[in-house]
Amino acid sequence: MKAMIINNFGGSENFEVSDIDMPDVKVGQVLVRIAASSVNTVDTMIREMGSELPISPALPAVLGMDFAGIVEAVGEGVTDYVVGDEVYGCAGGLGELQGTLAEYIAADSRLIAHKPNNLSMQEAAALPLVGITAYEGLLRAGIKSGQKVLVHGGSGGVGHVALQLAKHFGADVYATGGGDKQLALIESLGATGINYKTETVADYIEKHTDGAGFDVVFDSVGGANMANSFDAAALNGQVASTVSMVELDLSVAHFKGLSLHVVFMLIPMIHNVKRQEHAEILKALRTIAEADGLKPVLDEKRFSLEEVGLAYDRLTSGQAMGKVVVENR
């Protein structure tokens, strides 16, 4: 089968078209003909950093985690899928798991679900990693109807899904963005936009919460922004973070009695633990999407499998609005 492989970690020029063996379908797996995949920040980190990241695959490698496609064969022990089913998931591209920048993948059936009927293959491929991350973070933060929820990075891959899910759960949702395009996207998805470049944390918690702070803060920006999340949270509030690799004084969190939830959705894939939970979340996301409560936004630029290097560059450039998708044409 055709695949895009890298023989060296580093820049986008390291992607090469190659013919590799079709994967064998093992017990508990399904063979999927991939229609589309999407690019996530962690994909670009693996491409650039390689062995510096313990989750990186050995070279030569096929990268890519998210996909949507059609089941071509079913392995022993799989009862939920039959040939011809349309499925989506996040099932490869790290460790020993072959990635999705290929024509086929043998995916663990515990990491996939039936594709939402009202989403295209491209839209479905954009959803798994960011959708699971957002869903897990909000549920761990105990989101409830009527709460005030702040999403940092509301126009980003995880952020734009998190604000839609928070709205679905009945919250009053606010989200930060850094420009007119970002704020327009946030508003179009049903949240109140906050320009973090012109409004301080003190400004917007006073404006939107009468100074009390937000019940839940979902931080998809992380790093130094974690301090802003602590400042924006209400007393005994909940903070969910997807990027928490930072040294930080926890004094504010202590005196406000905050709870911090660190979300790293790749754990089931890396350690082969509780993988079925990903399938259950994907099923829940399907239900929400089919009820018109969730629709991933795709970047205006589209890329073929052979153009995957350009797709990675598009994401790292910071110019993309929505998820960057790679199509198997």
| Angstrom distance (rounded) from CA 116 to CA 131 | 13
Same domain as 278, residue 196:
no
Same domain as 35, residue 111:
yes
Of residues 72 and 14, the one with the higher pLDDT is 72
Give SS3 for 200: coil
pLDDT band at 11 (very low <50, low <70, confident <90, very high): confident
The range of the structural domain enclosing residue 156 comes to 130-262
In this structure, the strands spanning 259-262 and 303-304 are unpaired
Same domain as 48, residue 123:
yes
pLDDT band at 75 (very low <50, low <70, confident <90, very high): very high
Q: Which of 262, 283, 308 is the last residue of a domain?
A: 262
- Check whether the bond before 296 is cis (ω within 30° of 0): no
The single-letter DSSP state of residue 61 is: B
Same domain as 140, residue 122:
no
Same domain as 277, residue 219:
no
Q: How many residues does the chain have?
A: 329
Residue 307 is part of a domain; what is its CATH number? Answer: 3.90.180.10
| Angstrom distance (rounded) from CA 35 to CA 303 | 12
Residue 146 is part of a domain; what is its CATH number? Answer: 3.40.50.720
In this structure, the strands spanning 2-6 and 66-74 are unpaired
Same domain as 95, residue 14:
yes
Same domain as 97, residue 50:
yes
Same domain as 141, residue 117:
no
- From residue 148, give the alpha-carbon distance in Å to each of 2, 155, 185, 317: 48, 18, 19, 32
Q: Which two tokens stand for residue 134?
A: 């957002």
pLDDT in tens, 224-283: 899 999 999 999 999 999 998 889 999 999 999 999 999 999 999 999 999 999 999 999
Question: Is the Cβ–Cβ distance between 203 and 176 less than 8 Å?
Answer: no
Number of structural domains (the chain) is: 2
Sign of CA dihedral 218, 220, 226, 228: negative
Same domain as 52, residue 39:
yes
Question: Is the Cβ–Cβ distance between 99 and 1 less than 8 Å?
Answer: no
pLDDT in tens, 121-131: 999 999 999 99
> The pTM is what?
0.96
Same domain as 281, residue 188:
no
pLDDT in tens, 300-315: 999 999 999 999 999 9
Q: Which of 262, 286, 310 is the last residue of a domain?
A: 262
Sign of CA dihedral 61, 269, 287, 241: negative
Question: Is the Cβ–Cβ distance between 88 and 81 less than 8 Å?
Answer: no
| Angstrom distance (rounded) from CA 132 to CA 39 | 15
| Angstrom distance (rounded) from CA 126 to CA 63 | 15
Percent of the chain with pLDDT over 70: 100
Q: Which of 209, 241, 262 is the last residue of a domain?
A: 262
Same domain as 193, residue 119:
no
Q: Which two tokens stand for residue 80?
A: 């939920």
Same domain as 134, residue 118:
no
Conformation bin of residue 50: beta by default, left when phi > 0, alpha when psi is -120 to 50: left
